[in-house]
Amino acid sequence: MAEAVVTEPYPALAPAQLAAMHGLRAAGDRPGLREYVRSLWAYRHFIIAFANARNVATLTTARLGQLWHVLTPLTNAAVYYLIFGVILGTSSRIENFVAYLCCGIFIFGYTSAVASAGTVAITSNLNMIRALQFPRASLPLSVTITQFQQLLASMAVLIAIVLVTGEPPRLAWLTLIPLLFLQTVFSGGLALLLARLGSKIVDLKQIMPFVLRTWLYGSGVFYSLTTATDSMPTWASTLLHLNPMLVFIELAREALITTTPASHFSVSSMWAVAAGWALVMGAAGFLYFWRGEKEYGRG
């Protein structure tokens, strides 16, 4: 009696080929770029909800709670005004130094906070990463949204300070809207870049305070960098003035303050530099983070 012959449905295909035929892929494998962008859009409600939750949870145990988001930059402004405005006499060389200083502190503080939080966006959420499946870029992007929400309250205080110090309302204030958009794109890209670096270099969070402090002093927050670099070679001065935070700060001052110290670049050139930094950092940070998608939460 002849034995029955069992025919395999796919006798010549390797397991990887079978998986591809049925749309299967390895767990934790990196999705394609377009698919990744679509998944982020699908998770937009999660990103916003997570950002809102972080914002509410921040400083809830402090007696003054959310007020510290405004009190912290104001306190920093008071300290820097005492040191640079009074002791070092910078206020006598810059008209409306209070508004000038506050613009620098509030604008720089936004990106600085995003960078600090972005550095630990992955390492501080490892349990959630290992337990749930979602695009990991949601974490640094939610950090950016959280800090943007806090910036909005700070900007209301900044405008009040500008009015109190004698600046008249004008249409130029509306340029803050595209300016903050460009800065947010730049900051989001920076958060994505630092999130991946922070997941690979655990000690980066210990180094960041020194990096951010150096960046603060080099961004003309409490002095005019144009005046300070008068004696430098042209190439060196131009290089320092390409600092993205200096450009964002100078554009904010141009919008809010009637009379500001002369800038190295024209206003139109500064807008071009700001847009360039936003495009480069936003795209490069996103691509760099996406390429490491399968690494997060492992090891």
Q: Is the pLDDT of residue 44 over 60?
A: yes
> What is the count of structural domains for the chain?
1
Q: Is the pLDDT of residue 16 over 70?
A: no
In a domain, 5, yes or no: no
Q: How many CA atoms lie within 13 A of 256 on its CB side?
A: 32
Of residues 27 and 69, more confidence is placed in 69
Between the CA of residue 227 and those of 26, 103, 230, 241, what are the distances in Å?
A: 58, 18, 5, 12
How many angstroms separate the CA atoms of 124 and 126, rounded? 6
| Residue 96 near residue 165 (C-beta atoms within 8 A) | yes
Looking at residue 258, what is its pLDDT? 86
Domain housing 209? 54-286
| Residue 293 near residue 140 (C-beta atoms within 8 A) | no
In a domain, 12, yes or no: no
In a domain, 276, yes or no: yes
Q: Provide φ and ψ at 43, rounded to 5°.
A: -95, 15
Split at pLDDT 50, 70, 90, the class of 269 is very high
Q: Is the pLDDT of residue 49 over 80?
A: yes
In a domain, 29, yes or no: no
Q: Is the pLDDT of residue 42 over 90?
A: yes
Looking at residue 150, what is its pLDDT? 87
In a domain, 264, yes or no: yes
Looking at residue 148, what is its pLDDT? 94
Split at pLDDT 50, 70, 90, the class of 12 is low
Secondary structure of residue 89 in the 3-state scheme: coil
In a domain, 245, yes or no: yes
For residue range 128-177, list pLDDT tens digits in order: 898 888 899 999 999 999 999 988 888 888 888 889 888 889 999 999 99
For residue range 69-84, list pLDDT tens digits in order: 677 777 777 777 777 7
Of residues 77 and 286, more confidence is placed in 286
How many angstroms separate the CA atoms of 223 and 215, rounded? 14
In a domain, 1, yes or no: no
Question: Smallest Cα–Cα separation from 159: which of 119, 229, 224, 106?
Answer: 106
Place of tokens 């655990």: 202
In a domain, 49, yes or no: no
